[in-house]
Chains A and B, each alone.
Chain A
Amino acid sequence: MHLVEAVGVTKDYAHGKMALPALRGISLELSSGEFAALAGPSGSGKTTLLNLIGCLDSPTSGKLTVAGTDVQTSSPTTLARLRRERLGFVFQTYNLVPVLTAYENVELPLVLLGRKRDASTRAAVMSILSEVGLEGLETRLPSDLSGGQQQRVAIARALVKQPALVLADEPTANLDSDNARAILDLMSHLNSVKGVTFLFSTHDQLVMEYARRIVSLRDGKIVNDERR
């Protein structure tokens, strides 16, 4: 069974009385352990597809299953649980909670999973922070971290609960090339060593160099699906 299965998925956005199609019949399968990228120009539907797979939005039609859960028919609470337990997100603008320290931001998904704030949780958080190279910065607020460091915190937050799938929306867009490469090295390493599945949306050539599968979209349709 595939981690993600999309069959004829469409997504329309209402614009006044008009329905603007963002996705037009997407069919896609994503398996565990993949390191894939959704590529395409702005407006091609990359982020929309990523949001649907991330259960942040639901398709207008078609069938989308994520980790065995039908996205279209599930309740908001079920989808929230799915996001909490199986999915991790990394955003372009890091999206950390500004009042929480790096440690607390990473700890947050575990707290939501009902984990006690004890020694084992602390060990898990410190371990992942160390893994992304943020040892010693755990008490800093996001505002006291550089863009690259914030993105590392976001990655640590996405990975700390050991999700089935990490969805990364333009994760390198706000980083310089050195930081971008470092982040991609880190993700690639986690994919190879820990088997974490990654799905990016990007139009960054660097990300596409790292990706082992590139799904190209244009005008809401998949125009190419290339495996390397």
Chain B
Amino acid sequence: MLGFYLSLTLKNLLRRKRRTLLTAAAIAVGILYFVAFDSMLSGLNQEAVSNMISFETGHVQLTAPVGTPAPSVEAVLADVRSQADVVGATPRFVVPAMLVAEADELPVSVVAVDPKSDTQVFKQAHYVTEGQWLTDGTMIGAPDTIEEPTATAPISIVLGQRIAGLLGLTVGDSVGIRLNDATAMATATAGAPPAAATVTGIVNTPHPTVNSSQIFVAVGRARELVDAAGVSPSTVVSVSVAPRRTRDPIRIVASIGTIAGWKVESWNDTATFLAIGSGKRTYAMALLGLVMIIATIGVVNSILLSTMERTREIGILMSIGMTRSQIVTLFVMEGGGLGLLGGLLGAVMSVATNYYLVEVGIDIQSILGDIDLDIGYPIATAMRGAWNWPMLIVAVLFGLAVSLIASYLPARRAAGLDPVACLRRL
């Protein structure tokens, strides 16, 4: 019986090929739209999280109280490194500054890094496009481990590519750094000459903030700058953990535990953009509903037209002994067939489109031009999608369910027809 129904359904769908294809296409476009939108949102979030972890926070960030002495920081570092699943920990501090290049000045963030351990947590060193990553400086609390250059030598800095572009800098160029007072946001050393620095490397990372506003200085030389400026930045210890623990930030934080006076946060605690993503996803769902309403209208229209065109046939089937529920089943299966065809089309189109979105992405910069893109997401100039197979399956099943439900009413209308009136129809 089911085989017969399926065969009859297929034949009926093929009877009006163009209409079937158009209706299925409407469902397919709805699915494609949803999958692509979800892919872009997931891609944005994935890339943003990845960039934040790789360039901003690590998996866990421990913020020291202001004025914490270097030995205390080193003790915390040693303690954290001894924890299970911790693969690296590095100290950093950030101070606002002005980068002076001849007559030009640009507000930047000086990021003091420990070149030796920074690569255990962060990836800036992998994105050096010119020159090299920092090699000089000292470890906090371990001044003898690396040879410290003389205080009079220019400070080696690595800067973001956008900064280099804006100021026309290249490797080997001389610049000046003038620190700001982090608390008062006033130029504490405005009257003093800027500290001499040399560009030793330029990085072009997927994180726009790094490219546009950060300069990296070895922590030992950075300490000279802050001491001279009278600034007391707060040291942050960033921690990288084993891959199997990276998606479980609460447990990571719990495993590190509390350290007196220090603030312990996971990447998830600082990812404010995730809330933006959640809002956009709700919006996407609402739009999906709208698209599915259009698909529903298509299915209802298609099945309704079929029942009207085949009124006489309905009468024949009734005269042969088909019950009303069997008539309903027949037309609902046609609706299901439309949904299935639309779902398959939608899946193929979605996979093809998503492949492009994941592998190539949408180059925002080529669309919008060379502008500073600050959209609340730490992402680069190309927006990339992400594979989300469960969501694709959900979308296809949703399309199928919508089609089945949408075809029920016209099917019931057909089943309620008077067989005599049906047979009288020419």
Interface residues of A (CB under 8 A from B): 51, 54, 56-57, 76-77, 80-85, 87, 89, 91, 95-100, 104, 107-109, 111-114, 117, 157
Q: Which residue of B1, B313, B419 contacts A97 across the interface (Cβ within 8 Å)?
A: B313
Which residue of B is nearest A86, CB measured?
A: B321
Q: Which of B320, B419, B420 has the most CB of A within 10 A?
A: B320
CA separation between A53 and B387, bound complex, in Å?
Answer: 63
B12 and A109 contacting across the interface, CB-CB below 8 Å: no
A112 and B326 contacting across the interface, CB-CB below 8 Å: yes
CA separation between A100 and B323, bound complex, in Å?
Answer: 19
Q: Which residue of A80, A99, A111 contacts B12 across the interface (Cβ within 8 Å)?
A: A99
Question: Does B322 sit at the interface, judged by CB under 8 A?
Answer: yes
Residues of A close to B319: CB separation below 8 A: 54, 56, 83, 89, 91, 95
B320 and A117 contacting across the interface, CB-CB below 8 Å: no
A99 and B1 contacting across the interface, CB-CB below 8 Å: no
Interface residues of B (CB under 8 A from A): 1, 3-4, 7-8, 11-12, 14-15, 312-313, 315-324, 326, 418-420, 423
B11 and A112 contacting across the interface, CB-CB below 8 Å: no
- Contacts A56-B420, A112-B326, A114-B1 given; does A89 touch B320 at CB 8 Å: yes
A117 and B323 contacting across the interface, CB-CB below 8 Å: no
Distance of B98 from chain A, by nearest CB (Å): 79
Which residue of A is nearest B312, CB measured?
A: A95
Residues of A close to B11: CB separation below 8 A: 99-100
Which residue of A is nearest B4, CB measured?
A: A111
B15 and A99 contacting across the interface, CB-CB below 8 Å: yes
Distance of B321 from chain A, by nearest CB (Å): 2
B321 and A117 contacting across the interface, CB-CB below 8 Å: no
Top 9 A-B pairs ranked by shortest CB distance?
A84-B321, A99-B11, A83-B321, A80-B323, A56-B419, A95-B316, A111-B4, A89-B319, A57-B420
A80 and B321 contacting across the interface, CB-CB below 8 Å: yes
B15 and A97 contacting across the interface, CB-CB below 8 Å: no
Residues of A close to B419: CB separation below 8 A: 56-57
Q: Which residue of A77, A83, A95, A100 contacts B8 across the interface (Cβ within 8 Å)?
A: A100
Given contacts A77-B324, A89-B319, A97-B313, 17 further A-B contacts (CB under 8 A): A51-B420, A54-B319, A56-B319, A56-B420, A56-B423, A80-B318, A83-B321, A87-B321, A89-B320, A91-B316, A91-B319, A95-B315, A95-B423, A98-B313, A100-B8, A112-B326, A117-B3
A109 and B321 contacting across the interface, CB-CB below 8 Å: yes
Residues of A close to B326: CB separation below 8 A: 112
Distance of B230 from chain A, by nearest CB (Å): 89
CA separation between A109 and B3, bound complex, in Å?
Answer: 15
Q: Which residue of A84, A99, A114 contacts B320 across the interface (Cβ within 8 Å)?
A: A84
Distance of B115 from chain A, by nearest CB (Å): 76
Which residue of A is nearest B324, CB measured?
A: A76
CA separation between A104 and B6, bound complex, in Å?
Answer: 13
Q: Which residue of A81, A96, A111 contacts B1 across the interface (Cβ within 8 Å)?
A: A111
Q: Which of B318, B319, B418 has the most CB of A within 10 A?
A: B319
- Contacts A56-B423, A95-B423, A99-B11 given; does A109 touch B323 at CB 8 Å: no
